[in-house]
Amino acid sequence: MASTSPRSLLLLVLAVAVVVSDAQFQLSETFYDATCPQAASIVQQKVDAFVDADRGLAAALMRLHFHDCFVRVNSSLPERTDNFTQLVARFARVGLDARDMIILSGGHSIGQVHCGAFFERLYNFQGLNITDPSMDPEFAAMLKVQCPQTTPFGFMALDATNGTFDSAYYLDLLTNKGLLESDVALLSDPLGVEYAIKAVQDPMAFLDEFGWAMIKMGAIPALEPYGWRKHCAFVEPKY
C-alpha cells in the first residue's frame, strides 16, 4: 500500500497552516519571496530535524492544526461519539462539506488515542455491559488485553499502520476495526462507504485529496477581532 512518512505529512500540515485568504488578512503566500526566498526550505529543514528527534510530532502538529482551524471560528470540535449527521453538521459550520469531513477523518491514520476514548465500545456499549457487536471479535479481544477494564489507562494506535500516513485507516473501518464511534460512523452513510473503498483501492489519490482538504480547512476564516500573539494566552490589539 502506498504511503507517505509522518515527516512528509508534517511538512504538508505546516505548509497549509500558513495558507490564508489574501483578501481577508491582506497577507500573501509570497510575502517572503523577496526578503527571505529560502523561508520554505529553512522551515522544512527544521521540521525534518524535530520530527527525526520525535516521531510523534507529526500527529501532534496535525492535531494542533485541526484544533486551530475549528476553534478560531467559534465552532466546537467533533466529538468522539458523534454520529454521521452530527459530524457533517459540525464541519458545515466551518464551510466544509461531508466529503471534506470523510477525507479529513483520514488524519487518524497516525497518532494514538487513550483507552478511555473507546472504553464504552469495549465494555459497556449503549449501557448494556457488552462489547459493540459491530467490532471485529479478534480485534476487540486484542483491545481488551491492551486496555483492561480495571485499568484502562493505556494508549492505542489509531490504525494498524501507526507511524505511517496512508489509507489503512479506511481499511480498518471496512474490516470493523475502527476505534472511535465517530470513525465507525463514517460507514453509516453510503458516501462514507464509497469513499473508504476508493481510498483503499487508490491510496495515492487519498493522499492528494487529503492535502487539498487540509488546504481548504486551513483557509477557514478567523473570528474577529483577530490579532497576533506575543504570549500564547493573549491576543495583541488589532491595529
Binding site for Ca(2+), residues? 159, 166
Beta bridge partners of 157: 112
- Which is it for the CA torsion 148, 153, 159, 163, positive or negative? negative
Residue given cell 509570497 in the structure block: 30
Annotated binding site for substrate: 78
Annotated binding site for heme b: 108
Q: How far apart are alpha carbons 129 and 121 in whole angstroms? A: 9
Beta bridge partners of 112: 157
Nearest alpha carbon to residue 205 among 193, 217, 192, 196: 196
Nearest alpha carbon to residue 102 among 11, 202, 220, 184: 184
DSSP string of 12-58?
Answer: HHHHHHT---HHHH---TTTTTTT-TTHHHHHHHHHHHHHHH-TTHH
Nearest 5°: the CA angle 55, 60, 64 is 155
Nearest alpha carbon to residue 169 among 76, 49, 161: 161
Annotated binding site: 78, 108, 159, 166
